[in-house]
Amino acid sequence: MEDVLNRLTVLVNSPSLRIDKAQAVAEVIKAARAYRWVGLYDVTLEEVAAIAWTGSDAPAYPRFPVTKGLSGAAVATRVPVVVQDVMTDPRYLTAFGSTRAEAIFPVAVAGRVVGTIDVESDRTNAFSRADEEFLKTCTSILTPLWVLTTPRCVLRPIGAGDARPLHDLWSSPAVRRFLWDDEVIPLARTRAVIDQNQRMFGDRGVGLWGVWPADSPNLGGFAGLWPFRDPPDVELLYGVSEHLWGRGYATEVAQAVIAYCFDSFDIPVVRASTDAANTASIRVLGKLGFGFVRRSTVGDLDTVFYELHRRARSRASS
């Protein structure tokens, strides 16, 4: 079993797309204990959404409300739900007609469930104590699939369930000033950005992460790479709720995103731009080690452009 756990550790920390890692991980878990099907899911405030699963059989419900099914029970209680005979459990949502036993293991970080591992068997009473121990160890080894962590924060990809708190953050006067040129955007636009974000994470492994300070249940900010310009080029983007400003949060979370991008993808440079008047943001870029590239007018905005090269980062951290 140690072999399997080592393989999972290597896989989850390997430099490849999250969805590919999740699928490979699901296959390893399935093969390790001869399960019939294994799926990995994201959990947000509103829904449970499949990331990847074994084989070519998509689950009947690739996404469902966070309160539903055995998953809903595991998320609400933050403890594993193991059902040895699904026919006797009214909470069970049929995914495959042949499922007889199902176990849902929640992945919790800083008191919040961010994902689940869903394991199904075609035998009743399929799960032994050894299975439970194995799956519990898997949840801790696999945590990096769901989150980035910093000394004070947990970051996870923003999903549909985050629309309202993200919209409130983006609508606040201090944050929208430079982010949305002071416009209060419609909620539908926030939702459209989130849809695009989910596609970005699926296709490219990057996008916007939500930031939750470990001492609060509320969304405190966001950070990530986002496409700007025409033709689109991804740039570093971040923002923090005003009550947290000036305490190093933006620098801390942006550092985690940059480390993830350089460590996971073969990219030589991370770019960033900001309004020339956004002094705090320019200071953050300076603290992160970005170098000034140029200043130009984009639309009618006086904009400054910065870059952080992989080799400069290696030098700074050596």
Interface contacts to ligand COA, rule CB under 6 A: 175, 178-179, 237-240, 244-251, 274, 278-281, 283-284
Minimum separation from the CB atom of position 170 to ligand COA (A): 9
- Phi, psi angle pair for 270, to nearest 5°: -110, 130
| Token representation of residue 221 | 């900010």
Q: Looking at beta carbons only, is 28 or 244 nearer to ligand COA?
A: 244
Q: Looking at beta carbons only, is 61 or 245 nearer to ligand COA?
A: 245
Q: Looking at beta carbons only, is 108 or 254 nearer to ligand COA?
A: 254
Minimum separation from the CB atom of position 312 to ligand COA (A): 19
Angle at 209 between CA 208 and CA 214, to 5 degrees: 160
Q: Looking at beta carbons only, is 41 or 170 nearer to ligand COA?
A: 170
295 Cβ contact list (under 8 Å, min separation 6):
276, 302, 303, 304, 305
Residue showing the smallest CB distance to ligand COA in the complex: 250
Q: Looking at beta carbons only, is 44 or 281 nearer to ligand COA?
A: 281
Minimum separation from the CB atom of position 299 to ligand COA (A): 14
Q: Looking at beta carbons only, is 157 or 239 nearer to ligand COA?
A: 239
Minimum separation from the CB atom of position 167 to ligand COA (A): 15
- Phi, psi angle pair for 176, to nearest 5°: -75, -20
| Token representation of residue 140 | 């801790």
Minimum separation from the CB atom of position 173 to ligand COA (A): 10
Distances (CA, A) of 91 to 70, 134, 312: 6, 24, 54
- Phi, psi angle pair for 193, to nearest 5°: -65, -40
Q: How far apart are CA 246 and CA 244, in angstroms?
A: 7
Give 228's strand partners. Answer: 233
**Pairing of the two strands 153-157 and 208-213:** antiparallel
Minimum separation from the CB atom of position 271 to ligand COA (A): 12
User: H or E stretch including 279?
Assistant: helix 279-288
Minimum separation from the CB atom of position 13 to ligand COA (A): 27
Q: How far apart are CA 305 and CA 285, in angstroms?
A: 10
Q: Looking at beta carbons only, is 137 or 278 nearer to ligand COA?
A: 278
| Token representation of residue 56 | 């070519």
